[in-house]
Amino acid sequence: MTALTLTNVNKSFGQVHVLKDINLEVEDGEFVVFVGPSGCGKSTLLRVIAGLEDVTSGDVHIDGEIVNHTPPSKRGIAMVFQSYALYPHLNVRKNMTLALKQERQSKEIIDQRVAEAARMLNLEEYLGRFPSELSGGQRQRVAIGRAIVRHPKLFLFDEPLSNLDAALRMNTRLEIANLHRQLEATMIYVTHDQSEAMTLADKIVVLRDGRVEQIGSPMELYNNPVNQFVAGFLGSPAMNFLPAGLLSDGDERTLGVRPEDLYLSDSGELSATVRHVEHLGGDTNVIAMINDHQVTARLFGQHAIEAGQDFKLAVSEGKSYYFDKSGERLSA
C-alpha cells in the first residue's frame, strides 16, 4: 500500500518557485531520505507533506486520500525538528504526553505509550527531568519520543541529528534505524549529509534547486547515477571528475571515477603526484594531482606513501562514468 503520493507538487513563496513538479511515491513501512544541498527545498517539501505549508499546485495524498486542505493535526503525521522544539517548562513525561492529552486519550493509553516510548529510547530515568537538565542527545530522544507516542502513520524528521556531535550522531542514527524496524513505521527523513542518507534509506530522493534529480535505493544511485550532480553528491570521498581527454586524445567528455576504483599500477595511464596522504588505518586516501586536476584514490589498508611522490594510477575495469558538458550521464 502507498503511504504517501505527491503528484506534480509545486510551491512558490511569492515570486520564488521553491518546489518544482515533485512526483514521489512512498510505500508503507519505507524509510525515505530527502537529501540535497542547503536551500534545495528539503524542509519545504517536508512541511508541505506535514501541512505546515500549502501547495501552490499539485496534490498530496496520504493513505490514498488527498490532504491538500487537511490541517496538520488531522494528517496522522508526527514531525521531529532539528531544534527539538521541546517545551522548556514541562518535564520529559509532560512533553511526551501533551499531544495525547490534546487528543483526549485515556490516562491508561497515555501511560502505556509513554512507558513504551521511554523504554525504546532509554529515557525511563529521565521522565521527571526538564529539558534544560538533559544533554543534546537526550533532548533529541525526547523529541523522537514525543512523535512515537502518537502512533503516527507517517514520521517526518527534519535533520534531527545535526545538533549532535559526531559520535552521538552515529549512535542516534543506529537508534533511528532500529526504531524504524521495531515500529515498522513509514519514515521520511531530511538531511544534507549523504552518509546519513546512504546508511538509513530504503529509498533516497536527491533534490537540487527544488527538483527531484533521481530516486532510488542507495546502491542504485551510487552505482547508476543519472547525472554528474548525483554522482558527485553521494559517496565519500566524492567521485573524481577529470577531462576524458587525459586518457584518449580529443575526448571531450568528463570522466568520473570513484576513489575506490583508482589504484596504483606501474602500467597505469594516469601520471600523478601525491599532494597529501590521509592514513586512516583501515584505508589510505591518497590525494594527488594529475596535471592540474586533483583526484583522491582510496586504497585498502595501510601504504607507505608520502607527499611529493610520483606514481601511475589506473582505473578499475568497467568503473568509468562519462558525462556530457551539461552533466548528463552518457553510456560508456
Ligand X SMILES: Nc1ncnc2c1ncn2[C@@H]1O[C@H](COP(=O)(O)OP(=O)(O)OP(=O)(O)O)[C@@H](O)[C@H]1O
Which residues contribute to the site for ligand X (CB under 6 A)? 13, 16, 18, 36, 38-44, 192
User: Smallest gap, in angstroms, from Cβ of residue 51 to Mg ion?
Assistant: 17
Residues 6+ apart with CB under 8 A from 19: 9, 10, 11, 41, 44, 45, 48, 210
Name the one range near Mg ion by CB under 5 A: 18-26, 41-49, 220-228, 304-312. Answer: 41-49
Convert 21-52 to b/e letters by CB count within 10 Å (16 or more is b): ebebebeeebbbbbbbeeebbbbbbbbbbbbe
Interface size with Mg ion, residues (CB under 5 A): 1
User: Smallest gap, in angstroms, from Cβ of residue 78 to Mg ion?
Assistant: 18
Chosen from ligand X, Mg ion, none, partner binding at 40 (C-beta under 5 to 8 Å by type): ligand X
Cα–Cα dist 35/195, whole Å: 10
Pick the closer one to Mg ion by CB: 63 or 193: 193
Residue of closest CB approach to Mg ion = 43
H-helix segments, 149-216: 166-183, 194-200
Residue 140 binding Mg ion, by CB under 5 A: no
Chosen from ligand X, Mg ion, none, partner binding at 146 (C-beta under 5 to 8 Å by type): none
User: Smallest gap, in angstroms, from Cβ of residue 18 to ligand X?
Assistant: 4
User: Smallest gap, in angstroms, from Cβ of residue 10 to ligand X?
Assistant: 13
User: Smallest gap, in angstroms, from Cβ of residue 169 to ligand X?
Assistant: 16
* CA nearest to 83, candidates 165, 172, 3, 162: 162
User: Smallest gap, in angstroms, from Cβ of residue 152 to ligand X?
Assistant: 21
Pick the closer one to ligand X by CB: 39 or 64: 39
Residues pairing with 7 in the sheet: 59
Chosen from Mg ion, ligand X, none, partner binding at 16 (C-beta under 5 to 8 Å by type): ligand X
User: Smallest gap, in angstroms, from Cβ of residue 47 to ligand X?
Assistant: 8
Cα–Cα dist 130/56, whole Å: 40
Cα–Cα dist 279/296, whole Å: 13
Pick the closer one to ligand X by CB: 26 or 206: 206
- Which residue in the block uniquely carries the three cell numbers 576513489? 259
Pick the closer one to ligand X by CB: 1 or 16: 16
DSSP 172: H
Name the one range near Mg ion by CB under 5 A: 37-45, 104-112, 132-140, 145-153. Answer: 37-45
Residue 254 binding Mg ion, by CB under 5 A: no
CB 139 within 8 A of CB 126: no
Q: Which of 9, 24, 43, 143 binds Mg ion (CB under 5 A)?
A: 43
The C-alpha cell at 61 is: 495524498
Pick the closer one to ligand X by CB: 13 or 300: 13
| Identity of residue 126 | Y
Chosen from Mg ion, ligand X, none, partner binding at 166 (C-beta under 5 to 8 Å by type): none
Cα–Cα dist 92/111, whole Å: 13
Helices 107-120 and 92-102 cross at an angle (nearest 10°) of 140
- Which residue in the block uniquely carries the three cell numbers 589510505? 284
Phi, psi (deg, nearest 5) at residue 252: -100, 5
The C-alpha cell at 330 is: 552518457
Pick the closer one to ligand X by CB: 38 or 331: 38
Chosen from Mg ion, ligand X, none, partner binding at 300 (C-beta under 5 to 8 Å by type): none
User: Smallest gap, in angstroms, from Cβ of residue 198 to ligand X?
Assistant: 17
Task: Return residues touching Mg ion (CB under 5 A).
Answer: 43
